[in-house]
Structure 1
Amino acid sequence: MSDQPFWNPKTETLPREQLRELQLAKLRRVVAWARDRSPHYARTLAAVDPERLRTWDDLRRIPFLTREEWMAGQEAHPPYGELPVVGPEAAVRLHTTSGTSGRTPLRALDSRKDWSWAAEMWCYALWGAGVRAHDVGYVAFGYGSFIGFWGLHHGLEKLGALAVPGGAQTTPNRVRQIVDFGATVVASTPTYALRLAQEAEAMGIDLPASRVHTLILSGEPAGSIPETKALIERAWGAKAFDTAGMTEVSTIVMFEPGNQPGGCHVIEDHFIEEVVDPSTGLEVPYGERGERVCTSFGRSTTPLLRYRTADLVVKVPGESAGNGRTFDLYRGGIIGRVDDMKLVRGTNVYPGAVEAVVRGFDGIEEFQIRLEHLDGRDEVILVVETVATLPDDGWERLAADLGTALADAHEGLRFRLRRAAADELPRFELKAKRLTDLRAEQQRAALAVMESA
C-alpha cells in the first residue's frame, strides 16, 4: 500500500455516478439519525422524509444551518445547545472554535467513534502528501480546547508515524525540538510556519538542511496562496500541502495531495459540499465563486446538515486534476471568508489578495492591514515590519514597488504604507488576524465631536 497515492483507493477513484449514489445513501441515514435524536433537527426536519432524498435536488428539502442558529441554541440551552444527539455522559471529547474572531466559541462533543473518524479524515491528507509510518511528525500546536491539529496528531498515530506534540513550548524551543527529534513532517498554520523559519534563521539553524521534507498547513487560507506557499517552501526547503477543516465537523474536509498543486480535493465519500451564492443560497455552477455549505456523514454525536460555513471557494470537477481522484476540487483551496471582503472607495479588498501581493516581496517579516476613515474618506493602511537588515533606502524602494503592486491588484486603489518598528506587530501561532477595520468607530467619534460642538 505504501507505493500507491490513495489512502482509500476504492472511494477516491469511484466513478461520479457511484459516488453520488453513496453520498445520497449516507445522507438518508444521517438525516434519519439526526431527526430522531437531536432536539434541533427534530424541529427543523419534522417535514423531511429521509427516504425521499433520492436526488441531488432533494438536498434543498433540508434547511440550511447557520452559525448564528447554533450559537443561539447554545446560549438558550447551555453549555452544548440542541444540536447534539446525546449529552456529555456519552462523549469522550469536547472541542471549541478558536475564538479569534472575538465571538463566543462554539462547543462541540465527540464520541469515541467520532474521534476515530476524525483521525481517518486526516489520514487522507497525510497519506496523499506522502507521509508514511517511518516519518516523525512534529505538531507545532498549543493543544488547548481549540480543535486545531488534534485530529492530525491522531492521524499520524493511525498511520504508524511517530507523533511529537509541540504544545506548551516557546517558538525557539519548538525549533530545537524539530531538529533534535529529527522531524520529517511539521504541521502548523501557514503564518506559524513562517514564524518558525524566521526564528530558526535568528538562531543560526539551517532548516533546509534539516530532515523536514513535508509541511502540513491548515487553519488559514494562506496555505493555498501561491506566493505564501512558495515563501514557506523556500524557507524550509520542504514541500508544503494545504488542508482545511473546521471545529463544526471535528476534522478536515479537504486536502491537497502531492501530485495536485493549487487545489484541495473534498473528501466526498464522507461529506457533501455544495457551493451557493451567499446572497440567494442557490447553488452556483462549477467554476464560479460561492460559499461552502457542508454536510457531514461521520460525526454522529453532533450532526451537521447543510451548514453555511461562510468560506469562499471555487469548485471544479475532480477529474480535471489528472491524478486519478474523482473527488471534486476546490481550486485555490479556501479563498477567504464571506465577511472578509471590505469595500473601500468602491473597491473590494480581501486580506488574502493583499497577502498574495505582500508575500511576493523579499524583506517583509510581518504585516497588518488597517482600514481607517481619515480626512473625510476611507483609507487602507498597510503596516509593514521588515527584516532588521533592510536599510532605510531599501525601505523606500520596497514601499514604492509594493504600493504600485497593491494598486495594480486592486483596480488602482492606493494603499498608504507605514514601516513598523522591530517586533511591533503581533506574531501568531494559530489563526492570524491581520485586518482591523476602524472606520465605523472613527466616524462615530467624529460625529460625537460635531454634535458636542
Structure 2
Amino acid sequence: MLGSPYWNPKTETLSRAELDSLRLAKLRVLCRHAMSSAHYRRAFAQAGFEPDQLRGLGDLRRIPLLTRAEWMHGQEVNPPFGDLPVTTPEAAIRVHTTSGTSGSTPLRALDTRQDWAWVAEMWAYGLWGAGVRAHDTAYIAFGYGSFIGFWGLHDAAQRIGALVVPGGAQTTGSRLRQILDFGATVVASTPTYALRLAEEAVALGIDLPASPVRRLILSGEPAGSIPETRALIERAWGAAVHDTAGMTEVGTITTFECAHHPGGMHIIEDQVIEEVLDPLTLEPVPYGVVGERVVTSFGRAGIPLLRYRTADLVERVPHDVCGCGRGFDVYRGGILGRADDMKLIRGTNVYPRAVEQIVRQFPDITEFQVRFERTGIRDEVVVRVESPTGVPADLGRRLSEAHEGLKFRVEQAEPDTLPRFELKARRFVDTRTAPLGATR
C-alpha cells in the first residue's frame, strides 16, 4: 500500500472478468445472509427467487428491488428499525439516520462492529485515492450528529494514520481558526459548506489560498462534481477538490474521485454492485446513457442491502476513461442529480444541478435560492441571489436559454438574508400547493 496510488492494490486493479467472479461469489453469500431478514424472506418469496438461482451476475435481476418507501413502511409497521435488519439493537454499536432534507421522517440504520469497520474501509479507498496520507492533518467540518455524514471519513483518516481534527458543533469562524491553528492540509465538508467557509474567510480577512490546505474532500451533494461549483471552491481555497458520494442506506461512500480527475467518480466495485437502470422501465441502460443508480452492498452485515433504488441519476462509462489504472468503472460527472428533484414548470423540466451550473458562473454571487411560486394560474421560478455587485445582467437570459426558453425572475436579496448550510443545502423551495406541473 505504501507508495501505491491504490488503497487495495489487489482488488482495485482486477480485470473485469476477475471483478465479476469476485462479486458473484460475494452476491451468493449476501443473498443467503439476507434470508435472515423478515423483509427479504417475504420479498424473495413474492418474487419467486432463491439464492441457489444465482449462476451468473445476469441473475442479479431476479432479485426484487428495494425502495425507500418499502424501508419506511417497515419502520412504521415495526418501529423503530423496521423488518430489514438481521441484527438487534443489543448486538449493534451505532445508529444513524438520513439527513431528512426532503422533510420526510428519516430512515434509521443499525450498524454492527463489523459494519463500521467496513464503512471506514470504504472511505479509505476514497481518501487514499485522493492522495491523503499519514503525514496529513485532516480537519472535518461536520457537526457529528446522527446523520451519518463524515463519521466514516473520520475513522478512515485515522486508519490511514493522518492526524484528525473533529470540527464539532461550533461557529464557522471558530472552525476556520482551528483549520489555521492546526495547520490542516485536508478539509472535509459538503460543497455548500466549503463555500460558506470561504465566504467567512473573506469577511475575517483570512487568505485561504495561503493556508496549508491542499485538498478538499467533498460529499453530501452533487455540487462537488459540478464544474462551475468546484472551480469556485478551488479558486477560493487554492486547493484541489475531490468528490465522493454515498448514502446512509448503504452506510458509506461507494464512489470516489481519484487524483487523476477523470471527470467522474470510480465505483468501488469490489465492495458493491451498482446497476444503472431506466427509472421508468427498470431495464439496464448501456454505457453513456443516464439512468437511475441501484446499489447492492456487500459490507453491511446488520442490514443487508440488495438492489436499493437510490433515485440518483448517473451516467456510467468504462474504467479506461481514467488513466489511473483502476479496473473500476466511472460515473461521468459524478452524481448528476436526483430523479425526484425535478420540477415541471409550464412543460419544462427544471433540475437543481442545471440551475447551479449557471449561477456558479458568476463568482460574485455568494448565495442563492430558487423558489417555485404560483401567481394566479401560472407557475413561476424566482431566483434570489446575494451579490455585492448586484444581479448579473445576463443571469436570467442564461437560465432561460438552458431551459427551453422558460423565463426566470431574478431578484436581489439583502446581504446575509438567505439561509446558510453546514450539511445538505436546501436552496430549492416549492411554495405551490397544487400538484407539480398542474398549471401551465
Identity percentage over the alignment? 66
Distance 1:372 1:128 in 2: 43
Match of 1:89 in 2: 90
Match of 1:221 in 2: 222
Distance 1:3 1:430 in 2: 34
TM-score (norm 2): 0.97
Distance 2:3 2:191 in 1: 28
Distance 1:266 1:98 in 2: 23
Deviates more, 1:40-49 or 1:403-412: 40-49
Q: Contact (CA 8 Å) 1:260, 1:323: kept in 2 or not?
A: no
Distance 2:262 2:345 in 1: 32
Q: Contact (CA 8 Å) 2:96, 2:110: kept in 1 or not?
A: yes
Match of 2:27 in 1: 27
Q: Contact (CA 8 Å) 1:341, 1:349: kept in 2 or not?
A: yes
Structure 1 residues 18-417: aligned runs within 5 Å: 18-35=18-35, 37-46=36-45, 47-387=48-388, 390=389, 395=390, 398=392, 400-417=393-410
Distance 2:283 2:57 in 1: 13
Distance 2:227 2:321 in 1: 19
Matched residue type, 1:412: G
Distance 1:347 1:45 in 2: 39
Distance 1:337 1:242 in 2: 17
Give the SS at the match of 1:280: coil
Report the CA distance shift for 1:345/1:177 in structure 2 as closer, same or farther (over 3 A).
same
User: What displacement does 1:441 show?
Assistant: 5.2
User: What displacement does 1:198 show?
Assistant: 0.5
User: What displacement does 1:51 show?
Assistant: 2.7
Q: Contact (CA 8 Å) 1:340, 1:351: kept in 2 or not?
A: yes
Matched residue type, 1:16: R
User: What displacement does 1:376 show?
Assistant: 2.9
Match of 1:3 in 2: 3
Distance 1:49 1:376 in 2: 53
Q: Deviations over 1:345-365 (max 9, x none)?
A: 221110111000000112101
Q: Contact (CA 8 Å) 1:132, 1:159: kept in 2 or not?
A: yes
User: How many residues are aligned here?
Assistant: 435
Match of 1:451 in 2: none
Distance 2:376 2:360 in 1: 30
Distance 1:263 1:326 in 2: 14
Give the SS at the match of 2:249: helix
User: What displacement does 1:438 show?
Assistant: 1.9
Q: Contact (CA 8 Å) 1:2, 1:132: kept in 2 or not?
A: no
User: What displacement does 1:283 show?
Assistant: 1.0
Distance 1:316 1:378 in 2: 37
Q: Deviations over 1:258-302 (max 9, x none)?
A: 113320000000000001111111111111111110000000001
Distance 1:290 1:223 in 2: 19
Match of 1:450 in 2: none
Report the CA distance shift for 1:442/1:38 in structure 2 as closer, same or farther (over 3 A).
closer
Q: Deviations over 1:363-403 (max 9, x none)?
A: 1010011111224322111011113xx2xxxx25x1x2111
> For 2:412, which of 402, 419, 431 is the aligned residue?
419
Q: Deviations over 1:37-95 (max 9, x none)?
A: 11111111233222321222201110000000000001110111010101111101111
Distance 1:261 1:130 in 2: 15
Report the CA distance shift for 1:407/1:50 in structure 2 as closer, same or farther (over 3 A).
same
User: What displacement does 1:5 show?
Assistant: 1.0
Match of 1:438 in 2: 431
Q: Name structure 1 gaps, 5 residues minimum.
A: 447-453
Runs of 4+ in 1 over 4 A off after TM superposition: none
Q: Contact (CA 8 Å) 2:232, 2:363: kept in 1 or not?
A: no
Give the SS at the match of 1:265: strand
Distance 1:413 1:9 in 2: 49
Q: Deviations over 1:154-189 (max 9, x none)?
A: 000000101111011110000000000110000000
Q: Contact (CA 8 Å) 2:262, 2:321: kept in 1 or not?
A: no
Matched residue type, 1:9: P
> For 1:429, which of 419, 422, 432 is the aligned residue?
422
Distance 1:424 1:312 in 2: 32
Distance 1:441 1:425 in 2: 25
Distance 1:346 1:322 in 2: 41
Distance 1:376 1:30 in 2: 52
Q: Deviations over 1:3-27 (max 9, x none)?
A: 3211111111100011011111100
Give the SS at the match of 1:6: coil
Q: Contact (CA 8 Å) 2:119, 2:152: kept in 1 or not?
A: yes
Distance 1:294 1:206 in 2: 41
Q: Contact (CA 8 Å) 1:242, 1:256: kept in 2 or not?
A: yes
Matched residue type, 1:41: Y
Deviates more, 1:40-49 or 1:427-436: 40-49
Matched residue type, 1:436: V
Q: Contact (CA 8 Å) 1:98, 1:146: kept in 2 or not?
A: yes
Distance 1:43 1:238 in 2: 50
Report the CA distance shift for 1:210/1:288 in structure 2 as closer, same or farther (over 3 A).
same
Matched residue type, 2:6: F
Distance 2:55 2:179 in 1: 50
Matched residue type, 1:44: A
Give the SS at the match of 1:152: helix
Q: Contact (CA 8 Å) 1:372, 1:442: kept in 2 or not?
A: no
Matched residue type, 2:358: V
User: What displacement does 1:239 show?
Assistant: 0.2
User: What displacement does 1:218 show?
Assistant: 0.2
Match of 1:12 in 2: 12
